[in-house]
Structure 1
Amino acid sequence: QTAKSPSWIGELPDVVHGELAGWGQHGDITRQVLSLVLLRHDDEHPAVAEQFELVETWSEEVVAGIHTVRAAGEGALAQLLDLAFVGDVVALELAAWAGIDPGPTPVIAPSPAHAEAP
Structure 2
Amino acid sequence: MTHAARLTAATRLHLWALRSLVAAYWQRPDAPIWTATALPLPVECADYDLTLAAPGFRVLGHAATGRVEVQLLWNAGAGAPPMQPLGSWRRLGQVLLRRPLRRANYAAKYRREAYSSDRSFCET
TM-score, shorter chain, exceeding 0.5: no
User: Which of structures 1 and 2 has the larger relative contact order (alpha carbons within 8 angstroms, sep 6+)?
Assistant: 1
More helix, by proportion? 1
More strand, by proportion? 2
Name the TM-score, length of structure 2 as normaliser: 0.22
Structure of larger gyration radius: 2
Name the TM-score, length of structure 1 as normaliser: 0.22
